[in-house]
Amino acid sequence: MRRPLAILSLLAVMFGTQGGGASAKATYESAYGFDRTWNAAMRLVRVDMGMKITERDEASGYLLFEYKSPESGGKASSGSMEFLRRDQQVNVVVQLPEMPQYHEQVMIDRLARKMRVEYGEAPKAPPAPKPQPKDAGADAPATEEK
């Protein structure tokens, strides 16, 4: 009788330390630049979704907030947005460790829609530079003209 109890205890410890899918996250590549993306995300979280921002650091590119879902009965859980600068683009990473992954995707989808509505279609990335012809140099083989 003790063996099933021990197995259940072991399973409870294993699943209890997993954090409910803490490794899940959703990402969005914004071509609108850092300033526009940051401002739209701040308005999305605070104004559109009515959540409390607990910490933010624009220079480091992160935003922490209390996420409330109708499914959770009004109970707040921690959430974060991270803004990673890459040339002209910004990668936005949303994490809601205590919620199913689709909640993160819903926030990303709302941010992408907000960006399009407020700023229009995303700017096109500049074309890649054309490769320069190689310099023949002094030690290049001579070509004969006929």
Does 131 reside within a domain?
Answer: no
Taking residues 44-54, report their average pLDDT.
95
* Domain range enclosing 24: 20-119
Q: Are 115 and 123 spatial neighbours (Cβ–Cβ below 8 Å)?
A: no
Q: Collapse the DSSP code of 108 into the 3-class scheme (helix H, G, I; strand E, B; otherwise coil) and give the result.
A: helix
pLDDT for res 127: 66
Nearest to 100 by CA among 82, 83, 81, 79: 79
How many domains does the chain divide into?
1
Whether residue 81 contacts residue 92, with contact meaning beta carbons closer than 8 Å, is answered with: yes
Q: Kindly state whether residue 135 falls inside one of the protein's structural domains.
A: no
Digit-coded pLDDT (tens) for 93-137: 999 999 999 999 999 999 999 999 999 988 776 666 777 777 766
Burial 34-55, CB ≥16 within 10 A → b, else e? bebbbebbbebbeeeeebeeee
Looking at the domain assignment, is residue 91 inside a domain? yes
pLDDT of residue 42: 97
Read off the pTM: 0.68
* Extended strands (E) in the chain: 26-30, 52-57, 62-68, 76-86, 89-95
Q: Which residues contact 7 (CB under 8 A, 6 or more apart)?
A: none
Q: The CATH number of the domain where 89 resides is what? A: 3.30.310.80
Residue 27 lies in a domain: yes
